[in-house]
Amino acid sequence: MHYIGHILGITDLAKPLGLYKANIMDVTSRKPSVLIIGAGMTGILMVIKLRKAGIEDITVLEKKERIGGTWRENTYPGVACDVPAHMYTYSFELNPNWSHFFAHGDEIQGYFEGVADKYDVNRCIRFNEAVTDARYENNKWQVTSSQNRHYEADFVVCATGILHHPAFPNIKGLENFKGEMFHTAQWNHDQEIGPSTKVGVIGTGSTACQSIPELVDSGADVSVFQRTPQWVLPLKNFRNPDRLKKLMNRFPSLARLSRNFSVFFMEHFFTKAVTGHFVQKHLISWWCKLNLLLSIKDKALREKLRPNYQVGCKRIVVNTTYYKAIQKPNAHLITENIECITEDGVRTKDGVIHKLDVLVLSTGFHPMNYMRPMNLIGRADLHIDDAWSDQIKTYRSMMMPNYPNFFLMHGPNTPIGNFSVIAMSEVQCGYILKMIEAWQRSEYDEAEATPEAVQTFNAYIKDGLKGTAWVGGCQSWYLDKKGDPILWPYTWGQWVKEMREPEFSDMRLTKYQNSQSKEAA
């Protein structure tokens, strides 16, 4: 297969099928209809790129009342991105006015709203319409929304994201709590939290490490229920001075330079560290361990905060405030396992009842849901739950057998754990546009991955995972039900290279003649 070619640096081992004889510069004739599910960062980008390619028949179905996705949903105190702000922008729409090195959530939401307004994205969005049913029938996608409206499209792009279904802990008595309880992705801003408030937080991941310092600084008495400690990388979120923002507005190349520097750092340091490159791996491990040693003075507390797995196995927390907050007198780290939730608090297995007024669930999301719970039904009435009954597998993270002209954005085995999702979306959008261009030139009517291509791609991924940090002895949201990481185990540059051109030899391509299908051979 062509993966050998990539390893050897040869990219032209698999020529397109004989069907593909049209020159890439040929004038396109067919006008496709494209339906996009979700108006978050990726959905917005897809609209802009499709229009730039001259495609106007675009419908976006968004389940909520406005755009934004992750940054619309997450408004908890302290919410920020752990990717440098100048890197967390579209490559064609830089923002010189970020207030901090790591952008705050409300600023990111404002950025996407501004981009959507500038490019007039909203006019093709149907708000408050979740997709309930998407079926491939009569050579088209037939889509039904929660408003009982029906849509038909040649292509479906699923831009639902992966962290949008809150996960609630399976703890006995959770429904019995009489105080205020909410998930961090459903933060109740009407709830007053101050010096007289007893707050419990279940979870210690990235979200918890951002919100806990804010709760502690409010003067509330904060009990943190830790199941698994996290490795913390101390990158300070410094404020960008006004002078720098003025210079970047005057000289846009400075914003570009900042973005390029962040990309270089992520690609050649962080990404290589977690994918097993020796120097970067040991350097980032040393950095995190030194941070724990220097930040936590009390030895007993330090040992409670020390993970027993290698750095990078779980997503590294980028933070400089959590260690400071957890040492304050109104913060309490509780490592005893939770036995149950009572009406007035949390009872741990040592019999202690921790009385609370507010219980915050920082327990993450269901990352493997992807487009579900919608009914996604492909060829021959194949439901997505049946297609993925054994394991979630795709080709190139985007395509599946029996689901023609359907593309899943940020599917399994993208570099979601070690790079900017915006950069990933731009690469995937380019791939989809090339697929659509071939359809416009009538080179195919239906395109879907072959089962063999899916099998080969997943074997290629599994082979690469062996030396990564993600198999370093921990449980994390990176793992599927079989314990396999859903991440990309190679470098960012290799992923970009392999996504540059569609490999049509890995696909089942169909053309229709006189209403009869004829598979290309």
pLDDT tens profile 378-402: 999 999 999 999 889 999 999 999 9
Q: Verify that 179 and 161 share a domain, yes or no.
A: no
On whether both 239 and 334 belong to a single domain, the answer is yes
pLDDT value of position 227: 94
Query: What pLDDT score does 317 carry?
Result: 96
* Angle ∠(452,456,460) on CA atoms, nearest 5: 170
| Pair (452, 379) in one structural domain | yes
Go through the chain and tell me how many residues it has.
521
Tell whether 210 and 131 lie within a shared domain: no
Range 305-310 average pLDDT: 95
Q: How far apart are CA 243 and CA 52, in angstroms?
A: 34
Give the closest residue to 365 by CA, choosing from 408, 331, 420, 315: 315
Res 521: pLDDT = 33
Residue ending a domain, choose from 316, 346, 361: 361
Q: Report how many domains make up the chain.
A: 2
The yes-or-no verdict on residue 468 having pLDDT over 60 is yes
Answer whether residue 488 is part of any domain: yes
Domain termination site, one of 306, 339, 361:
361
pLDDT of residue 13: 30
Q: Find the mean pLDDT for residues 448-474.
A: 93
**Could you tell me where the DSSP H helices lie in 9-154?**
41-52, 70-73, 105-118
**Residue 78 domain flag:** no
Task: Please report which helix (H) or strand (E) contains residue 434, including its range.
Answer: helix 421-440
Query: Domain span at residue 338?
Result: 174-243+278-361
**Domain end point (choices 361, 384, 413):** 361
Whether 226 and 357 share a structural domain: yes
Q: Residue 88 has what pLDDT?
A: 95
pLDDT at residue 481, as a whole number:
82
Residue 21 pLDDT > 80: no
Q: Is residue 401 part of a domain?
A: yes
For residues 510 and 379, the answer to whether their CB atoms sit within 8 Å is no
Whether 25 is covered by a domain: the verdict is no
Answer yes or no: do 200 and 125 share one domain.
Answer: no
Q: In this prediction, what percent of the chain has a pLDDT beyond 90?
A: 84
Is the CA virtual torsion 292, 293, 295, 298 positive or negative? positive
Over residues 326-365, the pLDDT tens digits come to 999 999 999 999 999 999 999 999 999 999 999 999 999 9
Local structure of 51: helix, strand or coil: helix
Does any domain span residue 219? Answer: yes
Whether residue 492 sits in one domain with residue 398:
yes
The tokens describing 190, both together, are 């009407």
User: Mean pLDDT across the chain, nearest whole number?
Assistant: 91
Please check the confidence at residue 10 and state whether its pLDDT lies above 90: no
Mean pLDDT of 7-22: 33
Measured at the CA of 316, the angle between CA 310 and CA 322, to 5 degrees, comes to 115
Claim to verify: residue 161 and residue 179 sit in the same structural domain: no
Let me know whether 350 and 293 are in one domain.
yes
409 and 327 together in one domain? no
Centre a 10 Å sphere on the Cβ of residue 483 and count the other Cβ atoms it contains.
8
DSSP strand pairing (507-513 vs 155-158): unpaired
The stretch 30-41 carries a mean pLDDT of 97
Residues 301 and 180 in one domain: yes
The pLDDT value recorded for residue 84 is 95
pLDDT digits (tens, 9 = 90+) for 69-78: 999 999 999 9
Q: Is residue 181 part of a domain?
A: yes
CATH number at residue 238: 3.50.50.60
In a domain, 91, yes or no: no
Residue 282 lies in a domain: yes
Same domain, 161 and 188: no
Structure confidence at residue 2 (pLDDT): 38
pLDDT attached to residue 367: 80
